[in-house]
Amino acid sequence: MEIKQQLDVLDQHFANNKYMYGDQYTIADMAIWPWYGDLVQNRIYEATQFLQTKTYKNLVHRTEEIGQRAAVKRGGMVNRTRGELKHERHDASDFELKT
């Protein structure tokens, strides 16, 4: 199954790297985290049990760590596929003042 292979590659990568480009959080992390982060956290497809995502310890750890970043949380509020959609925001303070 191709998706499990992709998860395995990410898990192996995160065994030796904090982010996709070593110790630097880059646009690469921003681009792919929404896919694997939501998948591992069972927010899309509801397939974590079937895919056994909990077995990818390094991937799960990195998913949780990146998911705690303030910008990632704000992005998840604006760019969502289900639930209440927040209006576009231009500044971090907009979430506190205009939501």
Q: Which domains are delineated in the chain?
A: 2-97 (1.20.1050.10)
Contact yes or no for 14/59 (Cβ under 8 A): yes
pLDDT for 99 = 55
Predicted confidence (pLDDT) at residue 59 exceeds the cutoff of 90: yes
Give the pTM: 0.77
**Average pLDDT over every residue of 29-54:** 89
Nearest CA among 61, 41, 37, 51 for reference residue 2: 51
Distance of CA 23 to the CA centre of its chain: 17
**Average pLDDT over every residue of 26-44:** 90
**Average pLDDT over every residue of 35-46:** 87
β-strand partners of 19:
22
β-strand partners of 22:
19
Q: CA-CA distance, 71 to 93, in Å (whole number)?
A: 12
**Average pLDDT over every residue of 37-57:** 89
Quickly tell me which residue has 């077995």 as its tokens. 55
